[in-house]
Chains A and B, each alone.
Chain A
Amino acid sequence: MEKEKESLKRLFQQEFSKMVAVISSLFGLEHIEIAEDVVSEVFLQAAETWGDKGMPPNPTAWLYAVAKQKTLYYFRRNKILEKKVIPELASRQEKSQEIAEPNFSQQNIRDSQLQMLFAVCNPAIASEAQIGLALRILCGFGIDEIAEAFLSNKETINKRLFRAKEKLRTENIKMELPPENEIAGRLDNVLHIIYLLFSEGYYSKTQNQILRKDLCIEALRLGLMLTEYERTRLPKTNALIALMCFHASRFDARETGGEGFILYEQQDEALWNQELIAQGKHFLYLSAEGDEISSYHLEARIAYWHCIKEDSREKWENILSLYNQLLMVNYSPSVALNRTFALYKANGRQEALVEAEKLKLENNHFYYLLLGELYKGFDNEKAALQFQKAYALAKTQTERSGIQEKIDSLY
């Protein structure tokens, strides 16, 4: 029974985004709430009917058929639609008397979802709201799940989504692919949102492992969706997919079953998902076309090197070089710290210590962790001092106990 519920939930999640996309493309994005309502009603009816009579032989077809009925019903009954949408639709369809019905063909589902992806990832909407909207509309997540992923409450998320949908209306954002000359630029924003979605899943603070994994899988699915179209199948798209595959390959190996993560060094590489690594290599190969090197290219190559567990000079010199390049494109404190660790592995402790002291990231506990690691076994007293500073700045109990272990191991 539990299992059935789980698979039903998954089915609804998948079909939600498809149906909302198709119906919204018919009604116009300004009526996205109607599309959501229609689909929610379809699910309600499905839950009732299937509960009584059992699942139909083809559940998806059943859902689409009911969605069609309900859409038509809305067309006839809803006042907004009668006054605003139907006249416009009628003129669009050359005054045809027939009422348009949603088209749930594979092709139209795919087109509508891609259009929706570009609409949601419109730079007019704040990026946090974009992620929320993407989770709801493109991935079919429930409000409570989104709240959990953001460690927030339902009310805040609802408000955020409401404002994002308002923005869709006021900015008059349409469900359409950007014109050909704008697609490459707009694609950057789409890729960025997918990247953030994935990171949200991969590094999320929530303890819910299933939810985190779902987020990563959904981000990967959206990325793959972009590869189905020639104009969005660019080298940087492939680079982002490669990056996600490589990271996702270590998903199971780093789960502790409880709090926190198993760090890379302690991971059992037998648990790394070889299939995903092979997928990653495939997309990395495809990303090498053309001459643009995006930050996704660099990050994907770093992640690739991390799929080789064995330490070698070659590995760390490559990683260092990639971090150097990444910093030149895109500075962030965490990249600077990772670069310094790579410097230690490639060029030695002395050089890394000099460089690390220059970073002065004094509010960042990872900075003191790095300094502690660099002093460890060389000047344990200094190492302890650094770890203590990290301890004082750490934000969670899990982190503090991890740091305490490091301090204890010095003596």
Chain B
Amino acid sequence: MLLFRFPQGNFEPGNIPPAEFQALAKKWQDWAGGIAAQGRLASNGNRLALEGKVLKPGGVITDGPFVEIREMLGSFIIVKADSLEEATTLAHGCPALDTNGSVEIRPVMK
């Protein structure tokens, strides 16, 4: 599973001009299309909405931040690879990296 994390605030609505957003969307799609073209896309996951809730011990519910670190989980895809190394190779070129984000590569337990 490839998990994409982004610096918080990067994708807040209104932060990006529409044209730039479109260009970014195209980049993402071209990148994921490249993985699919190799027949290695198992699931293109779900995009996570920006809003949500966080439940903390003691029943405290807040609207975020989602984690106490500077990055938030944006979305994920599941790829087919024989090893973690192979999956990591597929993650190269991911547009998240261009926007100071990161890709976390984790095996899915069968």
| 27-41 of chain B: CB within 8 A of chain A | 29-30, 32-34, 36-39, 41
A336 CB contact (under 8 Å) in B26, B29, B30, B37: B37
Q: How many residues of A contact B (CB 8 A)?
A: 20
For B29, the chain A residues whose CB sits under 8 A away are 321, 324-325
CA distance A340 to B41 in the complex (A): 16
A338 to chain B, nearest CB (A): 10
A387 to chain B, nearest CB (A): 22
With known contacts A317-B26, A328-B44, A323–B33 Cβ distance under 8 A:
yes
For A328, the chain B residues whose CB sits under 8 A away are 32-33, 36, 41, 44
A296 to chain B, nearest CB (A): 18
Asked if A225 is an interface residue, CB under 8 A from chain B, the answer is no
CA distance A325 to B44 in the complex (A): 10
With known contacts A317-B26, A324-B29, A355–B41 Cβ distance under 8 A:
no
Closest to A360 in B: B38
Query: What are 10 A-B contacts defined by CB distance under 8 Å?
Result: A321-B29, A325-B33, A327-B37, A328-B36, A333-B39, A335-B37, A336-B39, A347-B30, A355-B34, A358-B37
B37 A359 Cβ-Cβ under 8 A:
yes
CA distance A340 to B36 in the complex (A): 11
CA distance A323 to B26 in the complex (A): 12
For B37, the chain A residues whose CB sits under 8 A away are 327, 331, 335-336, 339-340, 355, 358-359
For B32, the chain A residues whose CB sits under 8 A away are 324, 328
> DSSP majority for the A interface?
helix
Closest to B37 in A: A336
B30 A320 Cβ-Cβ under 8 A:
yes
B36 A327 Cβ-Cβ under 8 A:
yes
A327 B41 Cβ-Cβ under 8 A:
yes
A327 B30 Cβ-Cβ under 8 A:
no
B77 to chain A, nearest CB (A): 9
Asked if A39 is an interface residue, CB under 8 A from chain B, the answer is no
Number of interchain pairs (Cβ within 8 Å): 46
For A137, the chain B residues whose CB sits under 8 A away are none
A358 B36 Cβ-Cβ under 8 A:
no
Closest to B93 in A: A354
B36 CB contact (under 8 Å) in A321, A331, A360: A331
Asked if A343 is an interface residue, CB under 8 A from chain B, the answer is yes
For A323, the chain B residues whose CB sits under 8 A away are 33
| 47-88 of chain A: CB within 8 A of chain B | none
Given A324-B33, A324-B36, A343-B33, 15 more pairs with CB closer than 8 A: A321-B26, A321-B29, A324-B29, A327-B36, A327-B37, A328-B33, A331-B36, A339-B37, A340-B37, A343-B30, A347-B30, A358-B34, A358-B37, A358-B38, A359-B37
For A320, the chain B residues whose CB sits under 8 A away are 30, 33
Q: Digit string of A335-351 for contact with B (CB within 8 Å is 1, else 0)? A: 11001100100010000
For A339, the chain B residues whose CB sits under 8 A away are 33, 37
Closest to B29 in A: A324
For B34, the chain A residues whose CB sits under 8 A away are 355, 358
CA distance A128 to B104 in the complex (A): 44
For B33, the chain A residues whose CB sits under 8 A away are 320, 323-325, 327-328, 339, 343
CA distance A317 to B33 in the complex (A): 13
A324 B39 Cβ-Cβ under 8 A:
no
| 168-207 of chain A: CB within 8 A of chain B | none
A331 CB contact (under 8 Å) in B26, B30, B39: B39
For B39, the chain A residues whose CB sits under 8 A away are 331, 333, 336
CA distance A360 to B26 in the complex (A): 24
| 13-50 of chain B: CB within 8 A of chain A | 26, 29-30, 32-34, 36-39, 41, 44
CA distance A347 to B23 in the complex (A): 12
CA distance A372 to B88 in the complex (A): 29
A337 to chain B, nearest CB (A): 8
